[in-house]
Amino acid sequence: MNSEIREKLETCAIGALTAAAFVGFTGNVVYDYAINRNRRFFFRPLLTKDDSMIRGQFFRTDMAEEALSWAEKTAITTETTAAFDGIPLHGDSFRQKKQSNLWLVAVHGYAGMASEMFPVAKVFYEEGFNVFLPECRGSGKSGGDNFGMGWLDRYDILKWTYEIIERNPDAQIVYYGISTGAAAVLMASGEEIPINVRCVIADSAYSNLVDLFNFHFQKHSIPWFPLNFAGSLVTKIRAGYSFHDASCTSRVARSKTPILFIHGGKDEIVPLEMVYQLYNSTGSVKDILVIPEATHAYGMYAAPEPYWKKVAEFIGRFVVTENEDWNFVPRIREQINKFLGIERERV
């Protein structure tokens, strides 16, 4: 081997090693910031408090505070199970004192916990629903070292669903999710799910993870291609899925379950155009509500009356009850009036 060929090979080897080092370093930075539960490699020294608790808090609004007070006075049942890959999962349920076949499975957002969904739980519980609040892998009291971003969580949601049906074969189940929780229920609906799941409410879901990361990289003037590619590759190695796997649009195209999409017009976390991508990709019965004044996952607080009215009317199309006097919309409106401090009008 002459010196010229050797030099070229050495140059190529150095270039390959440099590229691999760059991909490994930047990929782990992206993974550690966005997917790693504890951010313990690159970002842990910068965290002065328990970051998981900070990110798990729900919006501090009057509606949320009232829901927290309600939860403290209502019996909570702790649920546990094991995920398909053995990760221990935790959830909380509020069960009706009287027998009810109505179930809500409400899934929290990115790095959240069950308490994030208390405002939703209160509304549905007072409408006669049993409410189950799963804590996603990597969040709350559930195990796991990384966030599933909805993709891995879809199988966990199905596992919980079948456990509900095992206890209550006649269960009528509504899926409800916020942010990555919305992604989880949308992706679950694209699997072979039981007919007990009557409809899905997806608030502030992303369309696909590649475009979501691109949006945030571009928003901060960061070159998206190398970071997105590197982050996706490292996530595939360390968490078992790539950013390309996590696509809600591909899953809703397969869904046979009715879906209501909700999004805020001022959402700066998940851009508004993503809800239209999801809506246009959906092949099942669908509806959409855009709340112009709402930021990310804030629709129920920014405009509670149109929000809950839409949710109530949509669910009422697919959930059946034996109670002839059951009328979802007026009672939801009564809850809205309580939240807003408006005295109920009596006839």
Q: What CATH number is given to the structural domain containing 181?
A: 3.40.50.1820
Question: Which two structure tokens, joined as six digits, stand for 266?
Answer: 């001022």
Residue 325 lies in a domain: yes
Same structural domain, 8 and 126? no
Instruction: Residue 30: give the domain boundaries.
Output: 1-34+209-244
Is residue 173 domain-shared with residue 259, that is, in the same domain?
yes
194 shares a domain with 321: yes
347 assigned to some structural domain: no
242-245: long-range contacts (C-beta < 8 A, 24 or more apart)? 243/208, 243/209, 243/210, 243/213, 244/208, 244/209, 244/210, 245/151, 245/209
Pairing, β 172-178 against β 102-107: parallel
Phi/psi of residue 173, each to 5°? Answer: -110, 135
Radius of gyration in angstroms for the set of CA atoms belonging to the chain, rounded to a whole number: 22
pLDDT at 337: 65
Tokens 């679950």: give the residue: 188
- Tokens 């696909």 belong to which residue? 208
Per-residue pLDDT of the chain (347 residues; tens, 9 = 90+): 566 655 555 555 554 444 444 555 788 888 988 999 886 544 444 444 444 333 334 454 566 778 888 988 999 999 999 999 999 999 999 999 999 999 999 999 999 999 999 999 999 999 999 999 999 999 999 999 999 999 999 999 999 999 999 999 999 999 999 999 999 999 999 999 999 999 999 999 999 999 999 999 888 877 767 888 899 999 999 999 999 999 999 999 999 999 999 999 999 999 999 999 999 999 999 999 999 999 999 999 899 999 999 999 999 999 987 554 455 556 666 666 665 554 444 44
108 shares a domain with 237: no
- Judge contact between 207 and 274, C-beta under 8 A: yes
Say what the pLDDT of residue 8 is: 53
Q: Under 8 Å CB-to-CB from 288, ≥6 apart: which residues?
A: 260, 261, 262, 263, 275, 276, 279
| DSSP letter, residue 49 | S
Query: 92 and 226: one domain?
Result: no
CB 286 within 8 A of CB 314: no
Q: Write the Ramachandran bin of 284: left for phi over 0, alpha for psi from -120 to 50, otherwise beta.
A: beta
- My answer on whether 184 and 57 are in the same domain is yes
pTM as predicted: 0.86
Q: In this structure, what token pair is assigned to residue 29?
A: 């930075």
Token pair recorded at residue 281: 């990709």
For the beta carbon of residue 309, count every other beta carbon within 10 angstroms.
Answer: 16
Closest to 23 (Cα-Cα) out of 188, 197, 165, 236: 236
pLDDT at 27: 81
